[in-house]
Every structure is written in structure tokens, then in C-alpha cells.
Amino acid sequence: MQTRPHYGNFALASLLAALAMLGPFSIDTYLPAFPAIQSSLQASSIEVQQTLTAYLLSFSVMALWHGALSDAFGRRNVVLVSLVIFAVASFGCASAHSVHYLWGFRILQGVSAGAGMVIGRAIIRDLYAGAPAERLLSMVTMIFSIAPAIAPIIGGWIVSFSNWRSIFLLLFVYTLLLLWACYKYLPESLPPEKRQPFSAEFLWLNYKGVFKSPLFYLKAGTVACNFAGLFLYVSAAPAFITQHLKLGADQFGWQFVPSVAGIFLGALAANRLAGKVSAALQLAVGFAFLVGAAICNVVFHAIWPPMLPWSVLPLFFYSFGMSLVAPPVTIRVLDLFPHIRGIVASCQSSMLTLLGAVVAGLVAPALDHSAFLLACGQLLFALLGMSLWYAGREYRRKELAQAQVVAEMPR
């Protein structure tokens, strides 16, 4: 474990959160602009929707490589190169004259946007272990949660007073500022002597080891399914806000503020609970919030039509539970393969984003015509996430019991 950065936990958490914010800024800021993009580029609604799917698919594929690259070439170097690529892609999106060009530059954004999120987790685990790592991870989540809250509001304001291209120009400027901050202040947490070779054989063996691990799927799948339950509403936001709740493009905050408030307060609670209560208790409480909120959401929309504030209130409690569950599970995913944490972080991010792409491209379009069906989809994801976690616990218990039996056998 490396020496902690001299400028303190909050400064490091702020920088890593700012890197992770590229993801929600790339998604949530332009959601209110969908009708404007459709009109400007003379595209269909499904073609504009697929700009989100293209971004998420490329994000999930490249997320597999960010960690491996950082394990070989250093955390800091990969982050800086990715920021340069993202800045170019953002400027390209602002300049796109057809929806097909927009697809291409959104793919380039997706290729580069995940580096900060993936490598940030590896940096935290390089520098800290146990409860301190969980506290720092939850602190990053708390700061990061600002982005999903303000992104759609900013996007709605920009569309109201300017045009959709200004959204991507804003991303371009943000990325340049972030590039300067990372160049000056981002620490290198992986010294050259601890780096792994970037070779086809090495990568094949390690990726195969991760993807052959049932525990990886069970634990990483827990976080991915919980997130998918919330991302379903993010993907369906244009329909949920404008069609079901009858709100305008500048009123996306009605959905996103409760969700992000839950993320922030859940991360704050996780930060305070780390090391003070057992992980089992924290996870049980988190799942109670997740599943309970999803059940209430289904019951409400089965009886009443969508209305404020009742249609968005369950999102607060769902995201609160999600933020309680995520830190301890994420640390345990990274600890499955401690010698290749960058690769493991990549695989976890890829799984999460690939599921997000499926949700955005298939599940949300299939369910967003009905608020009740959206609630049912969220409940299904919550139940699946909880089931995967407890199945993983049982698998691990049996694995340890079997290892003990083998160790006690006479030689």
C-alpha cells in the first residue's frame, strides 16, 4: 500500500469525484435536449435515443481496458490521455451536422469517459484498505452525486436559453479544466515496480481468471443490478417527465433531485457507518430500503396515476439504499484479485455499463410508456441485486467450508 497523498482525503475525493462526474454529465445534461436534437438534425426519436445507447456500449467495452492499461502504464498517465480524447469528442459532438456524426463522437466520448471512474476506484484501493477505503469511496460518491442532480437542470436551462450544441461545448470546457487539475494534482498511486506487463498472454490469463469467477459475477452483479433499477428511470426520464408527469424540459429536477439526494445521504450514512457496524447489517438495511422503495413504487402506480411528489419519492429511498450497499460490495469485488485491481475495476465497470446500455436501448423503450411498468422493472432489478448478493454469500460460505475440509484431510 502506497503513501497517502499529502493534500488529504477531501482533496483526493474531490478530484476523483470530478473525474467520475464525466459520466453523468455526458448522459444527464443532454437528456432535456432530445427534442431539440431531433428537430435540429432531422432525426427520429429512436435515432436520438440510440446516441445514448452508442455511448453506453462503447463505455462498457472500453471500461474493460482502462484498468488493464493503468496496471501497465500507471493510473495518472491513462487518466490524462483519456481526458484529451474526451475533450476532442465533446467538441466533435457540438459540431455534428447529422445524427450519424453525433453517434460517432458519442462513441468516442464513451471510449474515454470511463477512465476516471474505473481508475479512481483502483487509486483508492492502492492507497487505503478496509474501513478507510470504504469511507473514501463513499466520500467520492457524496461529492459525485452533485453531478446527476445539476446536470439535467443545467441541460434544461441551456436548451431554454441557447441550443443543444452549447451543452457539449460546456463539457469541452469542463474537461479542459479537469485536465489541468489532474496534471497538477492527481497522484500516481502505482509505482513502476508494481506495474504489470501489458501483454496478450498476461491479459488473457487475468481476464479469464476474473470472468471465470462465480463470485465476481455475484458481487459485481449486485452493484450493477441495483444501479440498473435507478438507471431505468434516468433512461426513461424524457418520457417519464414530459409524458407521465406533464412537466417541461426545464423541470427535470423533479426526478433527479430526489434521486441524487438519496445517493448523497446514503453515501454519507455509509461513510459514517464504515468500521462501526458490520457490513452484513449495513447491507441488510440498504437492501431493505432498495426493495421497500421499489415495492411502494409498484403499489402506488398500480392504484393511482403518476403525480408529484409521490411518483418521485420512492426514487429517494431507492437511491439511499443503493448508496448504502455499493461501498462495501465494491471493496469486496476489488479484493477478489488484489494483484490486478485495475483489471477488476474495469471488469466491474464494464458489467455495470453494459447492463446500463441494455436498459437504455431495450428495457427503457419497452417500459417507458407506462409508469407502472417502469416501477415493476425497478422492483425486478432490486430483487435480482439482493438475490445475487445473498447467493454470493452462500457460495463463499460453502467455498470456505470445502477448503477447511480439504485442509483437515490427513496427508
Concatenated DSSP letters of 243-263: IIS---GGGTHHHHHHHHHHH
- How far apart CA 396 and CA 406 sit, in angstroms, is 15
The secondary structure of 117-142 as a DSSP string is HHHHHHHHHHH--HHHHHHHHHHHHH
- For residue 165, the domain's CATH number is 1.20.1250.20
Asked if residue 187 lies in contact with residue 122, where contact means CB atoms within 8 angstroms, the answer is no
Residue 196 clears pLDDT 60, i.e. is over it: yes
**pLDDT value for 171:** 92
Any idea which of 72-86, 88-102, 123-137, 299-313 has the lowest mean pLDDT? 123-137
Residue pLDDT, tens place only, 69-78: 888 888 888 8
- Measured from the Cβ of residue 355, the count of other Cβ atoms closer than 10 Å reads 21
pTM for the model: 0.74
Distance CA 16, CA 369 (A): 37
Which of 58, 48, 167, 172 is CA-nearest to residue 112? 58
Within-domain flag for 364 = yes
Query: Which residue would you say has higher pLDDT here, 141 or 281?
Result: 281
SS3 assignment, position 207: helix
Residue 247 located in a structural domain: yes
Residue 79 has pLDDT above 60, yes or no: yes
- The cell for 133 is 477505503
Q: What are the pLDDT digits (tens) for 320-366?
A: 999 999 888 988 888 888 777 777 877 887 788 789 888 988 899 89
Tell me, what's the pLDDT at 175?
94
Give the integer Cα–Cα distance in Å for 54 and 102.
10
Q: In the prediction, which pLDDT does 384 show?
A: 96
Does residue 289 lie in a domain region?
Answer: yes
- Report the pLDDT averaged over residues 186-215: 81
CA dihedral defined by 337, 340, 343, 347, rounded to 10 degrees?
0
Distant-in-sequence, close-in-space partners of 223: CB < 8 Å, separation ≥ 6: 325, 326, 329, 330, 333, 348, 352, 385
DSSP character at residue 2? P
Whether 291 shows a pLDDT value over 50: the answer reads yes
Lowest mean pLDDT among 58-72, 84-98, 272-286: 58-72
Number of structural domains found in the chain: 1
User: 43 or 179: which carries more pLDDT confidence?
Assistant: 179
Is 155 domain-assigned?
Answer: yes
**Does residue 2 sit within a domain?**
no
- pLDDT above 70: residue 172: yes
Whether the per-residue pLDDT at 303 is higher than 90: the answer is: yes
Which candidate, 217, 194, 189, places its Cα nearest to that of 347?
Answer: 217
Q: What is the pLDDT of residue 2?
A: 45
| CA separation, residue 403 to residues 100, 201, 213, 400 (Å) | 54, 29, 16, 5
Write out pLDDT tens, residues 99-123. Answer: 889 999 999 999 888 888 878 877 8
Answer whether residue 226 is part of any domain. yes
In a domain, 36, yes or no: yes
The boundaries of the domain holding residue 245 are: 12-190+198-402
- Reply yes or no on whether the pLDDT at 33 is more than 90: no
- Weakest mean pLDDT among 124-138, 163-177, 285-299, 386-400: 124-138
Report if residue 371 sits inside a domain.
Answer: yes
Q: Residue 238: name the closest of 152, 125, 178, 174 by CA.
A: 152
Residues 396, 400, 406, 407, Cα dihedral to 10° = 150
Residues in the chain: 411
Mean pLDDT over the full length of the chain: 85
Query: What is the Cα–Cα distance from 329 to 160, expressed in whole angstroms?
Result: 41
**Confidence at residue 410, expressed as pLDDT on a 0 to 100 scale:** 64
pLDDT band of 24, cuts 50, 70, 90: confident
Looking at residue 155, its amino acid is G
pLDDT digits (tens, 9 = 90+) for 223-272: 999 999 998 998 888 889 888 998 876 677 788 789 888 988 998 888 78
pLDDT score, position 187: 79
DSSP-assigned states of every residue in 293-315:
HHHHHHHHHHHS---TTTTTHHH
